[in-house]
């Protein structure tokens, strides 16, 4: 039995930090100020994905259906494996096409003490004949935890509330409040779409670390079960802070898709949720397995 605890936080103040996500390392450090050491050391934190609190529609592959008001401001039910990833794509494809989806999924950037900060809310004007003359979109951070010892989860709400992420925390930036949390057992989810398909792809939800300057880590190559060479993939340099020291990482960038050469898609899917490779404890190496048509069949 493998459990994860999904968490949805609401930003209450502008965030100064990584522009694409709140790193798992930042989330783990924030939790460290709330938790006893013996609990904190066994926790693994995903990257936190920014989510706009907007209207949306469930995709065809989701277990739920229909349009929901403020879909991004809550944690939808999770019954299938695919449901886990509804709010994990920065593009947020569930946003309604009838609304300005690109604008609604873009942070306002404000200068705070000379630093660019992602606004915790966005206020937009509306047409003159609309009922309201402006619309406010709140921003949320979606993440999840798992632990080496499963009896540590779920964490109590009070331990998940009142955290701060990013820089300038002494000045109040990066304040969040807990909106919702739910515990999910990965072993009881429906994996039938993966089981019924003979061909699969891998979607890199977060960067996969190839090498790191952190002591004791190894240089790794592209996994053998990826049908891609390193030269074909986009890479990115990342860094994270540990004990006051910056460590550099060379990663395969997130948002890319590669073929899957393995023969255990369900096992790979579960491992991808709890992440793979170097620094997986800090959010790197999250992978989604996606069923695909036979690549030999031309569309």
Cis preceding-peptide flag for 154 (omega within 30 of 0): yes
| Residue 156 DSSP code | P
pTM exceeds 0.85 for this model? yes
Enumerate long-range contacts of 255-258, CB under 8 Å, 24 or more apart. Answer: 255/90, 255/204, 256/203, 256/204, 257/201, 257/202, 257/203, 257/204, 257/290, 258/201, 258/202, 258/204, 258/226, 258/227, 258/228, 258/233
Residues in the chain predicted with pLDDT less than 70, given as ranges, are: 1, 125-133, 294-299
State pLDDT tens for residues 109-125: 988 778 899 999 988 76
pLDDT of 297 reads 45
Neighbouring CB atoms inside 10 A of 60's CB total 7
Q: What is the SS3 assignment for 152?
A: helix
pLDDT of 243 reads 80
**Domains present along the chain, CATH in parentheses:** 3-188 (no CATH), 193-292 (3.30.70)
């Amino acid at each position: 039995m493998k459990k994860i605890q999904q968490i949805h936080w609401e930003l209450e103040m502008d965030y100064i930090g990584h522009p694409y996500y709140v790193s798992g390392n930042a989330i783990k450090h924030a939790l460290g100020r709330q938790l006893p050491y013996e609990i904190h050391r066994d926790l693994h934190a995903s990257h936190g994905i920014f989510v706009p609190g907007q209207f949306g529609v469930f995709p065809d592959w989701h277990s739920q259906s229909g349009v929901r008001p403020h879909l991004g401001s809550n944690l939808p039910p999770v019954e299938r494996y695919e449901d886990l990833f509804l709010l994990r794509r920065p593009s947020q494809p569930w946003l309604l096409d009838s609304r300005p989806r690109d604008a609604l999924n873009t942070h306002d950037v404000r200068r705070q003490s000379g630093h660019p900060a992602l606004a915790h809310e966005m206020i937009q004007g509306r047409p003159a004949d609309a009922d309201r003359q402006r619309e406010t979109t709140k921003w949320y951070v979606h993440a999840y935890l798992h632990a080496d010892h499963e009896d540590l989860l779920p964490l109590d709400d009070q331990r998940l509330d009142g955290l701060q992420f990013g820089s300038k925390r002494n000045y109040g930036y990066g304040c969040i409040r807990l909106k919702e949390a739910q515990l999910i057992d990965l072993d009881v989810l429906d994996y039938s779409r993966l089981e019924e398909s003979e061909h699969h792809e891998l979607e890199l939800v977060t960067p996969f670390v190839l090498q790191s300057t952190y002591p004791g880590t190894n240089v790794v190559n592209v996994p053998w079960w990826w049908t891609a060479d390193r030269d074909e993939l986009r890479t990115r340099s990342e860094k994270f802070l540990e004990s006051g020291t910056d460590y550099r990482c060379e990663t395969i960038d997130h948002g890319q898709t590669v073929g899957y050469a393995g023969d255990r898609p369900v096992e790979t899917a579960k491992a991808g949720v709890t992440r793979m490779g170097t620094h997986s404890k800090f959010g790197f190496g999250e992978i989604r397995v996606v069923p695909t048509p036979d690549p030999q069949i031309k569309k």
